[in-house]
Chain A
Amino acid sequence: MMIWMIIGMAIVTAVPRFLPAFIVDFIHFPPWVDRWLNAIPYAALGALIFPGVMSVKPDAPQIGVIAGLVAVLLAWLNIHIIFVVIGAILSVFLLTL
């Protein structure tokens, strides 16, 4: 089961990656499609972050939210993403002591 899921994920990831190599000379997007596609990564990140972050500790959603805010603060201060991740992990670790 898991193996088929991985193969399925591999195919749907690979096709959009290699398709442009064949079609780049033939298509031109209208500007609004460009803007939609440009917005997709930000929308995806938003949907991935909330409300999922509240499920870090399902019995205490505030812990996930606080750790998320710590991550926002660290990222806002231009701290490298590795330390943003470590900072959030530490926050949860300390809050659940």
Chain B
Amino acid sequence: MVKRGVMAGFPIMLGYFPIALTYGVLANQSGMTTVELTLMSVLVFAGAAQFLAVGMVAAGTGMGEIIIATFVLNFRHFVMSLSFVNRLKNIALRAKLPLTLGLTDETFTVSALYRKEAKEDYGAYFYTALILTAYVSWVGGSFAGGILGDIMPPRLSESMGVALYAMFIGLLVPSVKKHYRIAFIAIAAMAVNYVCQSFGMNQGWAIVIGTVAGGFSGIWILRGEEEEQ
């Protein structure tokens, strides 16, 4: 079971490492120490939120906004977790609880592709191995990036500032291709965020409000999608 879990987690491992490396380099340049940026990966383990936090730290945003932005951004895990624990009915709570802490967009999606293991004996070991594989890659990549940050040539590391935006685009575009309407949700959020910032609101709050308001547009835009799924 452990071996099968590691195999299932292997693609996530390959995907996480370079992104974690980029995170580590950027966090290093935003002024965080290697210990701090690695600790953030250990304790938070949420890529997009960590990139956001690093961007906000670099922009000099306050701690309160960063924590609220993290909450708003990661609240989607609540819904994923609902569906995840719903599937793991046969697994004991003491095994389920630590597993939910390892939920990310990727571990959730991949574990959703392996449904039958939840009903087998020792199924908890399978999901634990899958999530730990992803986790080790994320934490290790962050640490390596934090160390590399010091020796990376400045022009290259400056160019890497675009990496997080490219990653967000790379996560968004496949969904838009599948359902064009999703583009309107993203554009609504962009517009609200842009307007808020034009009126002088700080970046952190503008992102939070853009996300919540843009998400509301989904109440109408995603109508009818449930029947398709």
Contacts and interface: CB of A to CB of B under 8 A. Distances in A.
Given A21-B85, A88-B165, A10 B43 contact: yes
Contacts, number: 273
A50 B190 contact: yes
B101 A14 contact: yes
B148 interface: no
Interface string A76-90: 101001101101111
Contacts of B206: 47
Contacts of A19: 78, 81
Nearest to B58: A55
Contacts of B36: 2-3, 6
Given A67-B166, A72-B169, A92-B162, A12 B70 contact: yes
B166 A85 contact: yes
Contacts of B32: 2
B163 A88 contact: yes
Which of A40, A76, A85, A87 lies at the interface centre, i.e. has the most chain B CB atoms within 10 A of its CB? A40
A2 B22 CA distance: 20
Contacts of B214: 39, 42-44, 46-47
Given A35-B218, A42-B172, A47-B189, A6 B43 contact: yes
B174 interface: yes
Interface in A44-81: 44-53, 55-56, 64, 67-68, 71-72, 74-76, 78, 81
Nearest to A67: B162
A39 to B, nearest CB: 2
Given A47-B190, A51-B194, 20 more contacts: A5-B67, A8-B67, A9-B40, A9-B44, A12-B68, A12-B71, A21-B81, A24-B85, A37-B78, A38-B225, A42-B175, A42-B185, A42-B189, A47-B214, A48-B165, A49-B165, A49-B186, A50-B193, A84-B167, A96-B158
Interface of B: 15, 18-19, 22, 32-33, 36, 39-40, 43-46, 48-49, 52-53, 55, 57, 59, 63, 66-68, 70-79, 81-82, 84-86, 93, 96-97, 100-101, 103, 105, 155-156, 158-175, 177, 182, 185-190, 192-194, 197, 203, 206-207, 210-219, 221-223, 225-226
20 contacts: A6-B39, A21-B96, A37-B75, A37-B215, A39-B214, A43-B185, A43-B213, A44-B72, A44-B211, A48-B165, A52-B55, A53-B162, A67-B166, A72-B169, A75-B172, A84-B169, A85-B22, A85-B167, A89-B166, A96-B155
